[in-house]
Chain A
Amino acid sequence: MATEGSAVHAIEVTVNGVPHSVAVPARRLLVHFIRETLGLRGTHIGCDTGNCGACSVICDGQLIKSCMMLAVQADGCEVETIESLGDGPDGLDPIQEAFKEHHGLQCGYCTPGIVLNAKTLLAENPHPSEAEIRRALKGNICRCTGYVNIVASIEAAAAGAGSVTP
């Protein structure tokens, strides 16, 4: 297919613990690989320019914007998307529970990226200050909440986590 160009590369990438050995077109963005190739639709697209963070995923432990990375660049990486959190189709992990309890989401479009952001933040800094939370959230745009209850949710998740690293 002309669209995909002639260059196709074989990559091995582990997504949410599942190894994938696939051939991907060179131009395919990681976010499109996640959404279209793997069918994981919890990772969203909001801006195409790396500003909004709706496509945030965790790649080898680091929060990244999957619209800013080609799928071929994920060769050999371990990627975690929102679908990896919580047990089974209904379980919420403690960060997700905190967002539910503190009304940390409205339309839910930015939410997967923000939850993964919080997960990465709390893994590095289990008890962040409000200023640290706001600094960490800077790359994730939410148009619904004014960020107030997102900050409150992450504070609550941190408090609930006690000394246990999430």
Chain B
Amino acid sequence: MSTPTGETTHYPEVEQSERLGAWSGKSVPRKEDKRLLKGQGAFVDDLWMHRQGHVHFVRSPYAHARIVSVDVARCEAQPGVYATLTGEEVGVLQQPFFQMAPEPAGLMKDYCMAVGKARYMGEPVVAVLAESAELARDAAALVEVVYEPLEVVVDGIATIEPQAPLLHEEIGSNVAWHGVFDYGDVDWALENADHVVRIDRLHFHRFSSTPLETTGALVNWDPGTGVVEFRSNNQMPMFAAMFIGPAIGLGIDHMQFSSQDIGGGFGIKITSYTYLTALALLSRKAGRPVKWSESRWEHLAASAHGNERTFLDVEVPVMSDGTILGFKVRAFDDAGAYLRYEPLGAVIWSQVVPGNYRFKHVRVDYTETLTNKCPVGPNRGYSRLQHLWLIERIVDVVAKELGFDRVELRKLNYVQPEEFPYETPNGCIYDSGDYPAMLDLALELIDYEGARKRQLASAGSGKRIGIGIGSTLDSGTNNFGQSRIINSALPFSGNGEAAVVRLDLYGEITVTIGTSPQGQGHETTAAQVTADILGCNPDLVHVVAGYNKAANTYVGFSGTYASQFAVTGLGAVMGAAERLRGEIVKVGACMLGAEESDIELADGFVRLAANHEAAIPFIGIAATVFANVAELPGELADSVTLNCRYVYRPPFTVPDHETKRGKLTLTYASQVHAAVVEIDEETGQVTILDYAAVDECGRKVNPKIVEGQVHGATGHGIGAALYETFEYDADGQLLNSTFADYHAVTSLDVPHIATGEIECPSPFTPNGAKGMGEGGGAPLSTIASAIEDALPQGAHIVYDTHNNSERVYELLRSAAAAGPRGVEVISR
């Protein structure tokens, strides 16, 4: 691999395992499937405890209201009601959650339920615990809350105006974070470019991947031990622990987290720690286990939404040959009412500052704001997909306005295959890729030439054909040190994951992992790499299902999120399996009277490479170490445990707070999607005729699982682009809080997705894999691109990620109106 400047400091070289191959890389059927297909999974609502009560939350019907009084007397008088918990009590029992924002937003007092006032529709105000879920709900209706409605702000930009109502008085404004990311010299570029393309406004809408299983938990504060058990579907338990512990005075050693099967997460289940906190307090008060299963409307209104972002005053310097020098923009990200994972999103987008392109000069003036809407949380493609959509909009608009071919313009500006590892303007290192080849493949899969002919042929038919392209990145394995770019005082950096691989008493191979999978097949892929390293069949490897803190297999950020399992999770499993292998070889060599170098592992045996008859099955090794240890020399017996823990650590350093530069993520999976759409001129309805997704994620451990992730991410993107949006009215009322109104995509909405493969192994990971799964939001860019391609000459640019029939209808009509198009070009 060559480096463009020769001065770039990359990561240290990684020795990649030579043992992978017999099972890794193959589409081994999933270990998880039998139980899930037979309805034997253990999801959180399937769990129960003796004496458990059921929880129902009374929620604010107002988006912004002072809580004047709460009367629970009639509710508590109902037979079967065990206890209630009010915001007033929470204000005494809980310290405000730790805030990642610097002051003044860091002064925010965030509690697990509304204390004093409610700041979004659906915010929990009172919790009711009763003998059954039905009784809890009935009794909750008897809680009397007097509200004094306050002025509401739902606009993520207007909220910073002085006349806007304040959400959090202690902050003094509705600004959650502000900073300028300035790389290269964009002023120079704008002065020296042949053309400057200006775009007034682009808007990335609010939606959620809405896992089919809602949030839930069974929580028990054990009065005897003081240990609080959280059986939940939280997908990042050790992050949750970091918030819950200080808030209610619990050490990590007094919190037990576990989950087995989780019915989808997509990031939305990271911030459920607020509910877990309320449930813990309620359990302590009632002296019983408490069980809560969120209803769908509660999930849609009051779990977490994806970030909404508006881009203003985009300026793009372009040279006459089509070279795009970069861009500058003002970005306003709407975090909703509280900062539950934010303002991390204010830096996470900068993992992909130039997108897939060689832009050198970028300035983003970034403001995160607070509004009376559901708090945001990470959602598949978190914070990067907003920025990547902006970039793809820029490229398409530049092509159209300056008369470049969209395909050729992309190829000209893409980071070229020979330039990897590629250093971005803010010091991130793109590990590998081949974007031009991916684009060619995507276009081939939709029959690009044929589609262009269909487009011409459709003229005058009442249907308009458009072809769209989206190129995005799925940056994986975070360096948590990037949090210091938003707050230099935060004590986080690096990343890691833990795994334990052991040879059990009777020769069983057991793996525990620190992740909390939600359908990504971790049991299967962990078994594949373990089998390769230990020389056995993956069927012989038992990967313990789900997450359990008691297994002692976790580090500070354990969980399943942010496209990293293939690197961090499997890196840990591989390291632990290698350690176990070393111990097995050592014991085997002693028992066979041979040198370690003469030993090989195969088919579940330790044997002499030169004489396969001289072999000991794994059970022989285990039985000797655990039950016949006097047979071994003492020195050897003392040096093996057959219980090997390993923590994988990516080679990160701490990014620089002042310059906002650093290596923010280890791997860069990439996507190039292409689509052909048809638009009905009468109605504005968009129909996808062909869709192709080409994803590159390094060396694949299980190609079928990878393809499934690509399908899923594509489905979410198509859903958001055409069907799924959270709409609030001016009073902050969520208008679509059931699946009848929030149209989660169905089998009729997602077309067949053609997939294509290109493999560019990562040089920075122990298995050549890259984290993947989030998908970069490529369909959002692709659909916007296709719709714009179908619009008549003179139409307004596509300015929103969400393009339902009504919006497309307006765009179609905008051509005849000959009004502002949302874009202007200044040429020298």
Residues on A facing B (Cβ under 8 Å)? 1-4, 27, 35, 40-49, 51-52, 54, 81-83, 85-86, 89-90, 92, 96, 99-101, 103, 105-112, 115, 130, 133-135, 137-151
Assess whether A49 is in contact with B211, with CB atoms less than 8 Å apart: no
Asked if B705 and A103 make an inter-chain contact with CB atoms under 8 angstroms apart, the answer reads yes
Comparing B312-320, B446-454, B708-716, the segment that makes contact with chain A is B708-716
The verdict on B738 contacting chain A, using a C-beta distance below 8 Å, is: yes
Number of A-B contacts (CB under 8 A): 201
Tell me, rounded to whole Å, the shortest Cβ–Cβ distance linking A87 to chain B: 11
Bound-state Cα–Cα, A141 to B705, Å: 20
A109:B708 contact, CB within 8 angstroms = no
| Proximity string of chain B (22-38) to chain A, C-beta cutoff 8 Å, 1 when within and 0 when not | 00000101101111111
Shortest C-beta distance, B539 to chain A (Å), equals 13
Query: Do A134 and B747 touch across chains, with their CB atoms under 8 A apart?
Result: yes
Cβ of A143 and Cβ of B78 under 8 Å apart?
Answer: no
Are A141 and B213 closer than 8 Å at their CB atoms? no
Of B40-48, B166-174, B668-676, the segment with at least 4 beta carbons within 8 Å of chain A is B40-48
7 smallest A-B Cβ distances: which pairs? A42-B39, A108-B36, A109-B263, A146-B715, A107-B519, A3-B135, A106-B519
Measured CB to CB, the closest approach of chain B to A63, in angstroms, equals 14
Which residue of chain A lies nearest to B137 when distances are taken between CB atoms in the complex? A3
Q: Are A144 and B264 in contact (CB under 8 A)?
A: yes
With contact pairs A3-B135, A148-B711 given, residues A103 and B704 touching in the complex (Cβ less than 8 Å): yes
The answer to whether A106 touches B708, judged by C-beta atoms less than 8 angstroms apart, is: yes
A residues near B212, Cβ cutoff 8 Å: 44, 46, 52, 54, 107, 109-110, 141-144
Residue of B nearest to A147 (CB): B747
Residues of chain A with a CB closer than 8 A to B713's CB: 146
Given A49-B296, A143-B209, A85 contacting B38 (CB threshold 8 A): yes
Q: Which residue of B lies closest to A4 (CB)?
A: B134
Which listed residue (B214, B711, B740) contacts A149, Cβ 8 A? B711
List 9 contacting pairs A-B, 8 Å CB cutoff, sorted by A. A1-B131, A3-B138, A41-B43, A51-B744, A54-B212, A92-B37, A107-B211, A109-B212, A137-B747
Q: CB distance B264 to A143 under 8 Å?
A: yes
Number of interface residues of B (CB under 8 A): 66
List residues of chain B with CB under 8 Å of any chain A CB: 27, 29-30, 32-41, 43, 45-46, 78-80, 130-132, 134-135, 138, 209-214, 261-264, 266, 293, 295-297, 518-521, 704-705, 707-708, 711-716, 718, 738-740, 744-748, 750, 752-753
Whether the Cβ atoms of B739 and A51 lie closer than 8 Å is yes
Which residues does chain B contribute within 8 Å of A82, judged by CB atoms?
A: 38-39
- Please, which residue of chain A has its CB at the minimum distance from the CB of B753? A148
- Is there an interface contact between B296 and A48, defined as CB atoms closer than 8 Å? yes
CB-CB under 8 A from A108, the residues of chain B are: 32-33, 35-37, 41, 261, 263, 519
With both beta carbons as reference points, the residue of chain B lying nearest to A54 in the complex is identified as B212
| Least CB distance, A163 to chain B, in whole angstroms | 25
Shortest distance from the beta carbon of A142 to any chain B beta carbon, whole Å: 7
* Chain B residues in 8 Å Cβ range of A54: 212
- Could you tell me the distance between the alpha carbons of A110 and B716 in the complex, rounded to whole angstroms? 16
Smallest CB separation, B385 vs chain A (Å): 16
Nearest opposing residue in chain B for A101, CB measure: B29
- Determine whether the beta carbon of B30 is less than 8 Å from that of A103: yes
Cross-chain contact of A47 among B29, B130, B296, B748 (Cβ < 8 A): B296
Question: Smallest CB-CB separation from B779: which chain A residue?
Answer: A146
Task: Tell me which of B32, B135, B705, B711 has the highest count of chain A C-beta atoms within 10 A of its own C-beta.
Answer: B711
**Is B747 touching A49 in the complex (CB atoms < 8 A)?**
no
Contact A103 B707, CB 8 Å, known A48-B297, A83-B38: yes
| Smallest CB separation, A119 vs chain B (Å) | 12
Q: Are A43 and B39 in contact (CB under 8 A)?
A: yes
Chain B residues within 8 Å of A111, by CB? 36-37
